[in-house]
Amino acid sequence: MHWPVSQFETMKYGASDLDQESEGGLNLKIVVCGSYGDMKHFLEVLERLKREHGEQNVFPTREHLKRSEPCIEAHHRQKGETDETLAIRSELMRTYFDQIDRANLVEIVNEKNGKEHYGVGTTIELGYAFAKGKRIQFTRKPTNANILSLEMAAKNRFHDEICRKPEK
């Protein structure tokens, strides 16, 4: 199933229109992007989506998160980047891009410590998903001018009929 490039949505925490889609036979693949600086909230969203849609259908995996630990320490805990953490970060980013390529939905956890937030990594992943025509959903209604501009560009670039969710 093809999801339009400009399909931005706001998802209220704990509720999603995707429940009907996954029950309707769609093999839904979800990639969760967001700041690892608020790992508690990121993991809450990740675990909820895994419960709702199956662990095998949601990325990142436990292994990916474990592999991310040196980068989290270096970046979010101000330990400083090294050649090793930069190499790991590059590998992890390639993996994220590969997963976004396979995804039906990219879930953006656009908050950190209760405030709207887009880190550099999340912004890169959001832009990549947008460029690849992926369906994008946010955990918090975006108010950031750059994100709103991207949404407006998508609406101006495509017809309303193309922007609507496909009928089953």
- Residue 72 has what pLDDT? 85
Biggest alpha carbon–alpha carbon distance for the chain: 49
- Residue 151 has what pLDDT? 83
- Residue 15 has what pLDDT? 37
Record: fold of 8-159: Rossmann fold (3.40.50)
From residue 108, alpha-carbon distances to 34, 80, 84, 134, 158 in Å are 6, 26, 27, 12, 22
**Pairing state of beta strands 115-116 and 105-109?**
unpaired
Report how far residue 101's alpha carbon sits from residue 104's, in angstroms, rounded to the nearest whole number: 9
Higher per-residue pLDDT: 111 or 159: 111
What residues does each domain of the chain span? 8-159
Polymer length of the chain: 168
- Residue 77 has what pLDDT? 67
Q: What is the pLDDT of residues 49-101, one digit of tens each?
A: 999 999 999 999 999 999 999 988 887 767 788 899 999 999 999 999 999 99
165 pLDDT more than 60:
no
